[in-house]
Structure 1
Amino acid sequence: MKKKLLFIIPSLSAGGAERSLINLLAILDFKKYEVDLFMFNHEGLFMELIPEDVHVLPLPESYNRFVMPIRYSVSKFLMDKKAVLAYNRIMFSYKNKVSNNVSIGEQKSWKYMASAIEKMNKKYDAAIAFLEKTSIYFCAEKVDAVKKIGWVHNDYDKLGMDPFFDLNYFEKLDHIVTVSEECGHILKRRFPNQDKKIEVIHNIVSPKVIKQLSEKGTHDVFGRRGKETVILSIGRLHTQKGFELAVEACSLLKDMGIQFQWNIIGEGEERQRLTELIKAAGLQQYVRLLGLKSNPYPYVKQADIYAQTSRFEGKSIAIDEAKILNKPILITNFSTAKDQIVDGVEGLIVEMNAEAVALGISELIHNQRISKQMCEHLSQLQLGTEEEINKLYSLLG
């Protein structure tokens, strides 16, 4: 008889964790597992990539009403004589609004959102919360499962959360999974009494699939002008990704007289600010915000350099994919950078400032011998991580 699994994730909008889940589901053995998927939002770039064997669970009606615009939500609850839910909807907005940290706001507002979600009726052999915060809280409180697993996809100390709040939920999990050795060390230092639960499962990437998808863009996706170097970054437009460093570095590259274009694939709350920075620096012809791309791989294949200017990462799936497509890589020296590339061999790790980023890019452009050696080295590596799913199977028992 098949084991019943539940995966939980906020949505399948663009992001590394979302792509990682899609990759995992794509190779999951559906002959052994019956899979449900719970999301708090049914919109997103990767919705169309959910395998047909996965059953997407409908959202509870009370939750649908809870997440409506506050005036409509509160009035509907009051009309239905559900004063507690109306109050909780107001408090949910208030806690998120007054918090000076998005993560703390999500933690403090969870109990108000939770009131609009009943405990699930179905019992599962395992429930897997595939992202930190709300997914884990939901898994701990709202799901009946023999085993409960929570995933942390980032350097926990950089997420800005209250660890005392999370400890209460981590204690209810059987396993805590993270995506790199350094992330695992960070969790063990932060939660020493949970260290026996902590496991490392690397993001699943398939070279075969990535290479096939990269061939789908046969035209020049960048509209390259003359001999300019094409730089590419992929990530949510969020302060975590440090894209303002890229904009500042572009000003320096322009002053050096380098011909280039820097393209950024992604969307997010920083779009307006980045657009204003680009305009103020007169870089409209050099920096392009391309928005979301369901298939970014033709862009990676056709780029000359892949760059990641992040402040922190868990294990960036975009960097792994750039390695598979044999691109010279530049990344900033975030805490898990050495888990991602070998400095000077697979790419360059530079300090987290615009000057270092610009000098690193200049080095990759002007020293073609080093760039070529990096590409050739990457082409010889076995970079697929499909076997990582066996670690999950082991946890499932």
Structure 2
Amino acid sequence: MKNILIASFDMEVGGVERSLVSMLDQFDYNSHEIDLMLYKHQGEFMNLINNKTNLLNEVPQYTTFRKSIGETFQDRHYAIGISRVLSKLHAEIFRRISRVAEPGYYQMQLMWKYALPYLPQIEKEYDVAISYLWPHYFIAYKIKAKKKIAWIHTDYSNVETNVQMDLEMWREFDHIVAVSDACKESFLSKYGELENKVIVIENITSPDFIKMMADKESAEPMMNDKRFKLMTVARLSHAKGIDNAVKALRLLKDKGYKDIAWYVVGYGGDEVAIKELIESNGLEDQFSLLGKKTNPYPYIKACDLYVQPSRYEGKAVTVTEAKILGKPILITNYATAKSQVEDGIDGVICDLNIEGIAAGIERLYKKYELRNKLINHITNQDYSNTYELEKLYGVM
């Protein structure tokens, strides 16, 4: 019986968290004893954690990574609070000098680096320790394990990080798991010297579970909307390109397409800015933010076209889920897009800009035959992939 530790931040609604729930459901508990370390016991997916998993108690210092700086000081974690302030100032200076659009990844690196001396070591030693979400400093430096594995879910060629700082951390791991071949290639374009450590294990998906959840509740207000319905499930952040989606719908409205409605399930730091963008473009009656949903599948099932307008992705879990629910798909041509969609076969890839998104929607809106062709193809595919876990057992 192997002792395994899996660490992640929390169980808030998100693609990474859904893939973690699926992996925990499919694990072989006869051969593995699983401890799950969540920095904060919060999120709508908490009750979806397999009851054979041993959920460890919160460690107060680690909960700060899911709290504001003010809350961190209120909880008397003064050294960690000061490290958070320093990382924020450092990242802001970096943003102004380098003129990067989103220094959030760099700030998170700094936050962990500055806080490390004030975070407790976990005494139990494991056979295998798995860090499921970047940054992986906790497993790298605060856990004793015979083997360490880190997961990567994003396109690292598109995020600003301190490469040298990351390399020191990555060297602590025996294996690095990418969720797609394209995700692996983008990672190696930045961290080429780690090639011998990187393997590909795709996100575990359960078509039966997704279809069951899609029928579990109704997708109001979409069900009574007779317009052509677009759906996106995504975090409201720069990476997911929801701002470009709003502007693309404005272009379509200007061309006379007033019977297209775009629904977005998700939440995030850009919510206020996106709401303001919707209002300034006069799209309150066509672009709807539905907020956080524990079960997004009824909404995907209710749409006519699933759209992923992202600026970058590792492998979007929601795209595979939309395929499982038999939906035609439009995704932008981010670096890893071709690993998710074969253009014209199981979806359409459009240019990664506002005009490209609008043109892709217009094409699929007008071409009923193309939508049917995509649907006919994806409904004849098998998207179950629990065999991917065999690769993980192999490296463990």
| TM interval, short-chain normalised | over 0.9
Change (3 A) 1:297 1:71: closer
Residue identity matched to 2:251? L
C-alpha distance in structure 2 between counterparts of 1:141 and 1:16, whole Å: 26
* Matched ranges for 1:107-118 at <5 A: 107-118=109-120
Map of 1:304 onto structure 2:
304
C-alpha distance in structure 1 between counterparts of 2:156 and 2:67, whole Å: 31
Contact 2:9 / 2:66 at 8 angstroms: preserved in 1?
no
Alignment TM-score, normalising by the size of structure 2: 0.92
Q: Which SS does the other structure have where 2:127 is aligned?
A: strand
Whether 1:96 and 2:88 are equivalent positions in the alignment is: yes
Change (3 A) 1:76 1:342: closer
- Superposed CA offset, 1:202-245 (max 9, x none): 1111111111111113565514333x101000110000000111
**Cα distance, 1:159 vs. partner?**
2.1
**Cα distance, 1:192 vs. partner?**
2.7
Change (3 A) 1:306 1:347: same
C-alpha distance in structure 2 between counterparts of 1:51 and 1:65, whole Å: 25
Alignment TM-score, normalising by the size of structure 1: 0.92
Residue identity matched to 1:344? G
Q: Which moved more, 1:152-161 or 1:310-319?
A: 152-161
Change (3 A) 1:152 1:355: same
C-alpha distance in structure 1 between counterparts of 2:239 and 2:71, whole Å: 33
Contact 1:96 / 1:102 at 8 angstroms: preserved in 2?
no
Change (3 A) 1:19 1:284: same
Q: Which SS does the other structure have where 2:284 is aligned?
A: coil
**Cα distance, 1:111 vs. partner?**
3.0
C-alpha distance in structure 2 between counterparts of 1:347 and 1:377, whole Å: 9
Change (3 A) 1:63 1:335: closer
Change (3 A) 1:350 1:68: closer
C-alpha distance in structure 2 between counterparts of 1:218 and 1:165, whole Å: 47
Whether 1:331 and 2:340 are equivalent positions in the alignment is: no
Map of 1:120 onto structure 2:
122
Please give the root-mean-square deviation of Cα atoms over the aligned residues, in Å.
Answer: 1.9
Map of 1:80 onto structure 2:
none
**Cα distance, 1:74 vs. partner?**
4.8
C-alpha distance in structure 2 between counterparts of 1:305 and 1:242, whole Å: 17
Q: Which SS does the other structure have where 1:92 is aligned?
A: helix
**Cα distance, 1:70 vs. partner?**
4.9
**5+ unaligned residues in a row in structure 2: which ranges?**
96-102
Q: Which SS does the other structure have where 2:189 is aligned?
A: helix
Map of 2:198 onto structure 1:
198
- Superposed CA offset, 1:240-281 (max 9, x none): 000111101111222233212100010000100000000011
- Superposed CA offset, 1:270-327 (max 9, x none): 1000000000111001000011111111111111000000000001100000111111
Whether 1:44 and 2:36 are equivalent positions in the alignment is: no
Q: Which SS does the other structure have where 2:235 is aligned?
A: coil
User: Equivalent pairs: percent with the same residue?
Assistant: 35
Map of 1:180 onto structure 2:
180
- Superposed CA offset, 1:173-225 (max 9, x none): 00001111111122233223221110001111111111111111356551433
Map of 1:82 onto structure 2:
none
* Matched ranges for 1:127-142 at <5 A: 127-133=129-135, 136-142=136-142
C-alpha distance in structure 1 between counterparts of 2:340 and 2:64, whole Å: 42
Q: Which moved more, 1:324-333 or 1:115-124?
A: 115-124
**5+ unaligned residues in a row in structure 1: which ranges?**
78-84
Change (3 A) 1:219 1:112: closer
Map of 1:86 onto structure 2:
78
Change (3 A) 1:246 1:143: same
- Superposed CA offset, 1:20-74 (max 9, x none): 1111001111111111111222111211111111122122244457976656755
